[in-house]
Chains A and B, each alone.
Chain A
Amino acid sequence: MTPFTKVLLAACALGVAACTSPGQYDRGGLGGGAGEFAAGSPQDPRSMAYFQQTIGDRVHFAVDESTLGDEARATLLAQASWLMDNPEYSAIIEGHADEQGTREYNLALGARRAAAVQEFLVSRGVSPARLRTVSYGKERPIEICSAEACYAKNRRAVTVVTAGAGA
């Protein structure tokens, strides 16, 4: 099952208020930031869908690492420039871990990953006031096989953009 076969999170398309807290993903059992379509068309460079699908909303990490690789840095450069061009959006960066690890440690590891993304975006000029971080540890995998193919996709930080200029 690919993430994009999942149900559209209608709340995001209908009203921005419901999208500003990552807590929404707890309800209804959808995986946090996992595969919901963002609003707008992937061809419209100012849409959240463009950010999510055309730029790419996520970066991946090696086992037990929070260091950004070349591919991750390229994605984040594009994310930073989009955020600079679209100041009416803010973002919550979700850090995730794969299931190979204890619960508490993975929460802390997910926080490291989210912070690594946040620091990179800030270093490229995005205001820290527009960025918040949260860690889901191993609580919200997007792939559920117990093999490296799935683990590699679950070790991620997802930048979830929402309308609103931030705090």
Chain B
Amino acid sequence: MIARLMTLLLALGLALPALPALAQTGPLRIVIEEGVIEPLPFAAPDFVAENAEAQQYAREISRVIASDLAGTGLFREIPGDAFISQITSFDSPVQYADWKAINAQALVTGAVSVSGNRLVVKFRLFDVFSEAPLGEGLQFGGTTGAWRRVAHKVADQVYSRITGEGGYFDSRVVYVAETGPKDQRQKRLAIMDYDGANVQYLTDAASIVLAPRFSPTGDRVLYTSYESGFPRIYLMDVASAGRRALEDQPGTMSFAPRFAPDGRTVVFSLTQGGNTDLYSLNLSTGARRRLTSAPSIETAPSFSPDGRLIVFESDRSGTQQLYIMPAGGGEARRISFGQGRYGTPVWSPRGDLIAFTKQHKGRFHIGVMRTDGSEERLLTASFLDEGPAWSPNGRVIMFSRETPGAAGSSALYSVDITGRNLKRVPVRGGASDPAWSPLLP
């Protein structure tokens, strides 16, 4: 199922300036913070197939790279029929004038070779207007079955070199695949590439499953299932799909699990006698610790990236609001003070922002705020948006959007944290509750 990708980060050792090129701040720099209005035009001609077996991959790989880049909203692809030059050999000098003439500011060239089930992709990125390579040429290797991952790795390099931010294309999303109308909805855990490709189902539709969450290394998933007839949290190994229940006390429900950054602790909600509080569980010792003790609802916990704090939602004030407390429990500080209700907080991987779901005047919004509650910014608005999940680089948020009425269904959407580039993630069928993996190794 998951092809094990062997990544070789081999500098090609060509006569390219190394650090000076990376440090350049020419026209190719996109500083996302400033709010990009005009996407940067780039050309990604079909990669050169270095042997016959590579032919079927060469074009597809450049298509995936172009789609990754254009999909960010920060880049715009110049279509191939506008090209003056063609790239027929990886090592031929670039005719900068031909690419300038069509206003391609960035040029991505590459070559693919295949031997048996091994595939090697080389690429170079050029800053056309500076007439210079941007960074060194690189090569990535993998199995032919993992060709899309190799393409995503190239795109991550291009994105990173131009924006100065970490990439997010070589990553996966675990989510709940949905079929059927609202009153007979079937749910299965599923995992896919971040862009909706390579969907695999991890459970059947026999039981309701909810809100899967990745471990910090992406190899395990926590989720809630009604397998026993009652909601309980489970831990699944992604590669084998083997699972075990973490909580099995009769008369209780457990849900809303999430990993601590150390991957060894799980925080979750436990309901007993109608009251829901937060607990943590040490996965190696099985030791459980109660973190909150209030008659209100405490749920949707999420750790800060340093593991020291937990943001969660509580209705202790009378409505759902966001609070931060120490990871071991203790006094909680309310951080949401705007109008409406705030739920499902998720700490950004950079640590600076908290994404949330907000309900106000019958509408749902995905938003972000600073960890002290300031600078609240609503990114979306609809009948029902909920459950934000951060991209590994903290630039993009994926969430569920349910449409109203008898024919309503749920789909995954993504939006940049600037509020731009809202779009539907192309997943066949209904989908909800996304969680984004870290960047894959």
What 1/0 flags go to A135-159 for Cβ under 8 Å of B? 1100111111110000000000000
Q: Are B274 and A66 in contact (CB under 8 A)?
A: yes
Top-9 shortest CB links A-B:
A115-B274, A23-B229, A146-B404, A21-B229, A108-B276, A29-B184, A102-B343, A108-B297, A144-B182
**Stretch from B104-112, B116-124, B204-212 contacting the other chain:** B204-212
**Stretch from B63-71, B76-84, B127-135, B381-389 contacting the other chain:** B381-389
Contact among B229, B271, B357 for A135, CB-based, below 8 A: B271
Given A102-B300, A104-B300: A22 and B229 interface contact (C-beta under 8 Å): yes
Chain A residue with the shortest CB-CB distance to B251: A132
Give the interface residue-count category, chain A: 35 or more
Does A48 have its Cβ within 8 Å of any Cβ on chain B?
no
User: Could you list some 11 contacts between A and B, CB below 8 A?
Assistant: A23-B207, A102-B313, A102-B387, A103-B210, A104-B211, A107-B256, A111-B271, A112-B275, A139-B208, A141-B182, A144-B405
Q: How far is the CB of A164 from chain B (nearest CB, A)?
A: 14
Give the interface residue-count category, chain B: 35 or more
Given A102-B300, A108-B299: A115 and B273 interface contact (C-beta under 8 Å): yes
Q: How far does the alpha carbon of A27 sit from the alpha carbon of B404 in the complex, in Å?
A: 25
Could you say which residues of chain B place their CB within 8 Å of the CB of A146? 383, 404-405, 408
Interface residues of B in 260-284 (CB under 8 A from A): 269, 271, 273-276
- Chain B positions within 8 Å of A, measured between CB atoms, are 180-186, 205-208, 210-211, 226-231, 250-251, 253, 255-256, 269, 271, 273-276, 297, 299-300, 313, 315, 320, 343-344, 357, 359, 362, 383-384, 386-387, 402, 404-406, 408, 433
- Among A24, A100, A104, A115, chain B packs the most CB atoms within 10 A around the CB of A104
Contact among B181, B250, B320, B384 for A99, CB-based, below 8 A: B384
Q: How far does the alpha carbon of A141 sit from the alpha carbon of B276 in the complex, in Å?
A: 22
In the complex, number of A-B residue pairs with CB atoms less than 8 Å apart = 126
Q: How far does the alpha carbon of A136 sit from the alpha carbon of B208 in the complex, in Å?
A: 9
Q: Are A103 and B433 in contact (CB under 8 A)?
A: yes
Q: How far does the alpha carbon of A115 sit from the alpha carbon of B300 in the complex, in Å?
A: 21
Contact among B181, B210, B269, B274 for A144, CB-based, below 8 A: B181
Does A34 have its Cβ within 8 Å of any Cβ on chain B?
yes
Could you say which residues of chain B place their CB within 8 Å of the CB of A140? 183
Contact among B183, B404, B433 for A142, CB-based, below 8 A: B183
Q: How far does the alpha carbon of A66 sit from the alpha carbon of B271 in the complex, in Å?
A: 15
7 further A-B contacts with Cβ under 8 Å, apart from A29-B205, A144-B405, are A23-B227, A26-B206, A103-B386, A107-B271, A107-B299, A112-B274, A145-B405
Does A31 have its Cβ within 8 Å of any Cβ on chain B?
yes
Given A134-B253, A144-B182, A146-B404: A26 and B207 interface contact (C-beta under 8 Å): yes
Q: How far is the CB of B359 from chain A (nearest CB, A)?
A: 7
Chain B residue with the shortest CB-CB distance to A27: B206
Q: How far does the alpha carbon of A114 sit from the alpha carbon of B255 in the complex, in Å?
A: 16
Contact among A24, A34, A100, A103 for B387, CB-based, below 8 A: A103
Q: Are B231 and A135 in contact (CB under 8 A)?
A: yes
Chain B residue with the shortest CB-CB distance to A31: B183
Could you say which residues of chain A place their CB within 8 Å of the CB of B207? 23, 26
Q: Are B405 and A22 in contact (CB under 8 A)?
A: no
Chain A residue with the shortest CB-CB distance to B276: A108
Does A87 have its Cβ within 8 Å of any Cβ on chain B?
no
Does A12 have its Cβ within 8 Å of any Cβ on chain B?
no
Given A144-B182, A146-B405: A102 and B208 interface contact (C-beta under 8 Å): no
Could you say which residues of chain A place their CB within 8 Å of the CB of B320? 102, 105
Does A52 have its Cβ within 8 Å of any Cβ on chain B?
no
Q: How far does the alpha carbon of A23 sit from the alpha carbon of B300 in the complex, in Å?
A: 24
Contact among B185, B206, B226, B269 for A104, CB-based, below 8 A: B269
Q: How far does the alpha carbon of A145 sit from the alpha carbon of B300 in the complex, in Å?
A: 27
Q: How far does the alpha carbon of A149 sit from the alpha carbon of B35 in the complex, in Å?
A: 44
What 1/0 flags go to A116-131 for Cβ under 8 Å of B? 1011000000000000
